C-alpha cells in the first residue's frame, strides 16, 4: 500500500458508516435474536463505525448446541483427515485472497500498523495450512506388550466442543492458534472475539462457509464479557482456549473447574529484555522499535523491563531515549508510521493512569510520559529509569509503549531481577558471549527466550507461559495435544 492508497482509504472511512456484519450460528449468518447491536471505534480517529450483533444468551445456547450436535453427528471429526486437510487448505487460500480487506478491517478496529496486520493475516492463513496439514499426523502409538495375548495402543481423539475467547491486541493470530488446531483435530468451535475487534473475525467466519466447513462446526458469537461468560459457563462446552488478562483468565478457570472442563490460558507478561555490556546495542534498539513500539506495547510478550549492565547503563539509557523520541507515531495505514495509537478507550485510560502512577512514585522520565496533542488514542513512546523494585511500573503489565530500565551488576544479578516477577512469558538476552547466552537460556524462568532478537515466532514452535503467564502451550505440536484426549485401548485376543 502506498501513500495515495492510504489517503484514499482514510477519506473513504471518514464518510463510511462501515458494514453491518453478521454472526455465524449453525451455518447461518445472523443478527442477534433481539436485534441489538454495538459499534466498533477506530482508535486513530476516535470515530464509531460498523454494526456488530450483541448476542443474547439464547444465541449463545443455539451456537453451543449446534456445535455439540455437529460433534455428535460426526460431520467433521469422522471425515477422513485428508478431507479435513483439503477444507482447511481451501480456507487458508480464501483468507490469503482476502488478506488486504481483512488486514484493513483489523487496522480500523484495533489501530495497529497495517504492515503488522496485513502480514498477520498472511501468517494466519499459513497457520491454517500448517495445522490443517498436521491433521493427518494426529495419531497414537503402540507398545511391545509384556502380557501375551494382549494388544494395547493409544488413540488421539478430539475433545468435543471448544470455546475460543480471544483478545483485541492481535485478534486473528491469537484466534488461529486456537481455531486451526481445534478444527484440524476434529473439534467443533464457538469463537467469542473481543468486543473491541469482532469484525475481522466475522469476515473470516464467512469464508469458513465458502471453504466448506460444515454447519455447526464453526460458530462465532459477538459481544463483551457477559457473552463470553455465557459461553464458557455452558454445560456442553468441553474445552476453553482463552487469551487475555490474568483476572479474566482466573475467573474462567474457576468456572471451568466446577464442571472439570479443560482450559488453556495465555495471559500477561512483564518480560525482561536483558542487555549485557558486550551486546550489539544498535541491533537491540532496532528490535525494540519493532517489538515494543510497533505494537504500541500491546503484546503480551512485550519486553517491558529492560535490564542493562551497569557499565553501559547511562549511555544505553541516552540511546534508548533518543530511539523512543524518534519513533514516528501516527496513522497506522501510513507505510512510514512506526507506531499507531492504543487500541481502545479503556486501554488509553489504563496507560494514562500508569503515567500518573510513575509521577507519584517519582520515577525519572527519560522519554515520553504523556499523551501527544492529537486526536485518537495516542500516547508517547515512554522510557522510565530509577524505579524501585516494588514500583508498580516494574511489577504490573501496562500493555502500552512503556518500558522501565533497570541496572544490574553481573549475570547473577540479571538472573535474580529477571525472575523476580510473578510472570514468565518471555525474555530477551543480548550478548555476543555464546556461553553466557546458554547460561541465561537455562536460568530465566519463561516460556520463550530470544537471544539477540525479540518477538520473532512461527507456528511450528510452541508459545505460552510459566507461572502466572498461563497454562498450556499454543502452536507447535503441543497445540494438537491441547485439543485432543488420549484414549488407551486394550484388546485380549487370546
Ligand atoms: P483485556 O483486559 O485485555 O480487554 P479481557 O481478559 O477482559 O482482556 O478480555 C479478553 C477476552 O475475554 C475478550 O473477548 C472479553 O470479552 C472476554 N471476557 C471478559 N470477561 C469475560 C468473562 N467473565 N468470561 C468470559 N469471557 C470474558
CB count within 10 Å of CB 471 equals: 16
Question: Is 300 an annotated catalytic residue?
Answer: yes
DSSP-H helix ranges across 98-198: 99-110, 114-134, 171-184
What is the signed CA dihedral for 403, 405, 408, 411, rounded to 10 degrees?
Answer: 30
**Banded pLDDT at 32 (limits 50, 70, 90):** very high
DSSP tag of 483: T
Q: What is the mean pLDDT of the chain?
A: 97
CA dist 318 to 67, 155, 285, 322, Å?
56, 58, 11, 6
* Region 340-364 average pLDDT: 98
Residues 453-477, mean pLDDT to the nearest whole number: 97
Query: What pLDDT, in 10s, does the model give residues 367-403?
Result: 999 999 999 999 999 999 999 999 999 999 999 999 9
Q: Are 15 and 49 in contact (CB under 8 A)?
A: no
Instruction: Please tell me the distance between residue 249's alpha carbon and the centre of ligand 1 in angstroms.
Output: 8
Q: Does the predicted model carry a pTM greater than 0.95?
A: yes
Superfamily of domain 272-458: Aldehyde Dehydrogenase; Chain A, domain 2 (3.40.309.10)
**Cα separation of 205 and 327, whole Å?**
36
Q: Do residues 177 and 475 lie in contact, with contact meaning Cβ atoms separated by under 8 Å?
A: yes
Strand partners, 52: 38
pLDDT(488) > 90: yes
Bridge-based pairing state of the strands 470-471 and 262-266: antiparallel
Average pLDDT of 234-248?
98
For the chain, the domains span 11-267, 272-458
80 C-alpha to ligand 1 centroid (Å): 35
Whole-number pLDDT of residue 2: 85
Q: Is 479 a pocket residue for ligand 1 (Cβ < 6 Å)?
A: no
pLDDT value for 493: 94
DSSP state of 472: S
* Angle CA 477–399–353, to nearest 5: 160
In terms of C-beta density within 10 A (0-12 exposed, 13-18 middle, 19 or more buried), how is residue 251 classed? middle
Listed residue (173, 224, 235) closest to 40, CA to CA: 224
Q: How far apart are CA 268 and CA 400, in angstroms?
A: 13
Percent of residues, the chain, with pLDDT higher than 70: 100
Q: Is the pLDDT of residue 3 over 90?
A: no
pLDDT digits (tens, 9 = 90+) for 289-320: 999 999 999 999 999 999 999 999 999 999 99
Cell 450483533 appears where? 53
Closest to 414 (Cα-Cα) out of 311, 321, 284, 320:
311
- Asked whether the predicted pLDDT for residue 169 surpasses 90, the reply is yes
| Confidence (pLDDT) at 119 | 96
Angle between helices 225-233 and 246-258 (to 10 degrees): 30
- How many A from CA of 286 to the centre of ligand 1? 32
Phi and psi, residue 143, nearest 5°: -130, 160
pLDDT computed for residue 389 by the predictor = 95
Closest to 301 (Cα-Cα) out of 92, 455, 74: 455
> Residues 171, 174, 177, 179: is their CA dihedral positive or negative?
negative
Question: Among the atoms of ligand 1, which is closest to the Cα of residue 194?
Answer: 14
Q: How high is the pLDDT of residue 191?
A: 99
As a whole number, mean pLDDT of residues 28-47 equals: 97
Q: In this structure, what C-alpha cell is assigned to residue 315? A: 549511555
Span from the CA of 473 to the centroid of ligand 1 (angstroms): 19
Alpha-carbon torsion (286, 288, 291, 295), positive or negative: negative
**Ligand 1: does its nearest atom lie under 6 Å from the Cβ of 228?**
yes
CATH architecture label of 11-267: 3-Layer(aba) Sandwich (3.40)
Q: What gap in Å lies between CA 383 and CA 367, rounded to an integer?
A: 5
Q: What value does the mean pLDDT take over residues 173-195? A: 98
Beta bridge partners, 241, equal 164, 264
Average pLDDT over residues 239-263: 98
| 3-state secondary structure string across 222-247 | CCCHHHHHHHHHCCCCCEEEEECCHH
> What count of Cα atoms within 13 Å lies in the side-chain half-sphere of residue 369?
16
What pLDDT band is residue 174 in, cutting at 50, 70 and 90?
very high
Q: Which residues contact 408 (CB under 8 A, 6 or more apart)?
A: 274, 307, 308, 309, 310, 414, 417
Helix (H) or strand (E) holding 358: helix 345-361
Asked if pLDDT for residue 352 goes beyond 90, the answer is yes
Cα–Cα distance for residue pair 236/465, rounded to 1 Å? 28
Percent of the chain whose predicted confidence (pLDDT) is above 90: 98
Residue pair 177/256 in contact (Cβ under 8 Å)? The answer is: no
Residue 298 beta carbon below 6 angstroms from any ligand 1 atom: no
Candidate list 266, 411, 478, 481, residue with the active-site label: 266
pLDDT of residue 1: 79
Is residue 372 within 8 A of residue 76, CB to CB? The reply is: no
Q: Is 194 in the pocket of ligand 1 (CB under 6 A)?
A: yes
Q: Is 256 in the pocket of ligand 1 (CB under 6 A)?
A: no
pLDDT, position 381: 98
Residue owning grid cell 530477551: 428
Residues in CB range of 214: below 8 A, 6 or more apart: 27, 70, 75, 76
- Cell 549492565 maps to which residue? 309
Residue 274: predicted pLDDT: 98
Q: Which helix (H) or strand (E) holds 443?
A: helix 434-443
Amino acid at each position: 500500500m502506498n501513500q495515495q492508497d492510504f489517503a484514499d482509504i482514510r477519506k473513504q472511512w471518514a464518510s463510511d458508516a462501515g458494514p453491518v456484519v453478521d454472526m455465524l450460528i449453525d451455518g447461518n449468518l445472523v443478527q442477534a435474536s433481539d436485534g441489538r447491536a454495538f459499534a466498533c471505534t477506530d482508535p486513530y480517529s476516535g470515530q464509531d463505525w460498523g454494526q456488530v450483533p450483541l448476542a443474547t444468551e439464547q444465541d449463545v445456547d443455539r451456537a453451543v448446541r449446534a456445535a455439540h450436535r455437529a460433534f455428535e453427528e460426526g460431520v467433521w471429526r469422522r471425515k477422513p483427515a485428508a478431507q479435513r486437510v483439503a477444507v482447511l487448505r481451501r480456507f487458508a487460500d480464501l483468507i490469503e485472497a482476502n488478506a488486504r480487506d481483512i488486514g484493513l478491517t483489523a487496522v480500523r478496529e484495533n489501530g495497529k500498523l497495517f504492515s503488522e496486520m496485513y502480514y498477520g493475516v498472511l501468517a494466519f492463513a499459513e497457520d491454517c495450512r500448517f495445522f490443517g496439514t498436521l491433521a493427518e499426523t494426529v495419531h497414537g502409538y503402540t507398545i511391545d506388550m509384556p502380557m501375551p495375548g494382549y494388544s494395547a495402543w493409544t488413540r488421539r481423539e478430539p475433545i468435543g466442543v471448544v470455546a475460543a475467547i480471544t483478545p483485541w491486541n492481535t485478534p486473528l493470530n491469537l484466534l488461529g492458534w486456537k481455531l486451526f488446531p481445534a478444527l484440524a483435530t476434529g473439534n467443533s468451535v464457538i469463537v467469542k472475539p473481543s468486543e473491541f475487534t469482532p469484525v475481522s473475525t466475522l469476515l473470516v467466519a464467512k469464508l469458513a462457509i465458502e471453504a466448506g466447513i460444515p454447519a455447526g462446526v464453526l460458530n462465532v458469537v459477538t459481544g463483551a464479557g457477559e457473552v463470553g461468560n455465557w459461553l464458557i459457563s455452558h454445560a456442553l462446552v468441553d474445552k476453553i482456549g482463552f487469551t487475555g488478562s490474568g483476572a479474566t483468565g482466573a475467573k474462567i478457570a474457576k468456572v471451568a473447574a466446577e464442571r472439570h472442563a479443560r482450559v488453556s490460558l495465555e495471559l500477561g507478561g512483564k518480560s525482561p529484555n536483558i542487555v549485557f555490556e558486550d551486546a550489539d546495542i544498535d541491533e537491540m534498539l532496532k528490535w525494540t522499535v519493532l517489538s515494543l513500539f510497533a505494537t504500541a506495547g500491546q503484546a503480551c510478550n512485550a519486553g517491558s523491563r529492560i535490564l542493562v549492565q551497569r557499565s553501559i547503563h547511562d549511555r544505553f539509557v541516552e540511546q534508548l531515549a533518543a530511539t523512543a523520541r524518534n519513533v514516528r507515531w501516527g496513522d497506522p495505514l501510513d507505510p512510514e508510521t512506526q507506531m499507531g495509537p492504543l487500541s481502545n478507550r479503556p486501554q488509553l485510560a489504563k496507560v494514562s493512569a500508569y503515567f500518573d502512577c510513575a509521577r507519584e512514585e517519582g520515577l525519572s522520565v527519560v522519554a515520553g510520559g504523556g499523551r501527544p496533542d492529537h486526536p485518537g488514542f495516542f500516547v508517547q513512546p515512554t522510557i522510565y529509569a530509577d524505579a524501585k523494585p516494588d514500583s508498580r511500573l516494574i511489577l504490573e503489565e501496562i500493555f502500552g509503549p512503556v518500558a522501565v530500565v533497570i541496572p544490574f551488576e553481573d549475570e547473577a544479578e540479571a538472573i535474580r531481577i529477571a525472575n523476580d516477577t510473578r510472570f514468565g512469558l518471555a525474555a530477551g538476552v543480548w550478548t555476543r558471549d555464546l556461553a553466557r547466552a546458554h547460561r541465561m537460556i537455562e536460568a530465566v524462568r519463561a516460556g520463550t527466550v530470544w537471544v539477540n532478537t525479540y518477538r520473532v515466532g512461527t507456528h511450528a514452535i510452541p508459545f505460552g507461559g510459566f507461572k502466572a503467564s498461563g497454562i498450556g502451550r499454543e502452536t507447535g505440536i503441543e497445540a494438537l495435544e491441547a485439543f485432543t484426549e488420549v484414549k488407551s485401548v486394550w484388546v485380549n485376543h487370546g
